[in-house]
Amino acid sequence: MEYQVDFTDRASRDLDLVYKNINAEHSVAALKWFRDLKRSIDTLENLPNRCPITRKQNELRHLLFGNRPHVYRVIFRVVEEQKCVLILTIWHSARRDLKSIDLV
């Protein structure tokens, strides 16, 4: 493990909302999909810089997960000095473009 993956409070809430919105508590398929999302986020421990930089904010990167129309963007910042990947938000790609306020 090269980097530690940490979630902001916002990202933790987003993850909880995804779980509820896909009804993972009552669906085996949804629960599997949710676990795959979490595993995908965990892969950021190794080579987080493999993910592309976001269009509007050069210091942020994103990991895409899912298939259309159910693609989620995991927006994160790599903090090299601390060897940390900070997950800022998890965003359904069908939503409007991210604004700075969405990362608070």
Q: What pLDDT digit, counting tens, does each position of 78-91 carry?
A: 999 999 999 999 98
The residues, any chain, with a CB within 8 Å of residue 79's CB and separated by 6 or more, are 85, 86
**Position 13, amino acid:** R
Which tens digit of pLDDT belongs to each residue from 26-65?
A: 999 999 999 999 999 999 999 999 999 988 778 899 999 9
Q: Residue 4 pLDDT > 90, yes or no?
A: yes
Sign (positive or negative) of CA dihedral 1, 18, 93, 11: negative
Level-2 CATH architecture, domain 4-96: 2-Layer Sandwich (3.30)
**Position 64, amino acid:** L
Instruction: Write down the pTM of the prediction.
Output: 0.85
Q: Where are the beta strands (DSSP E) in the chain?
A: 4-7, 60-65, 72-79, 84-92
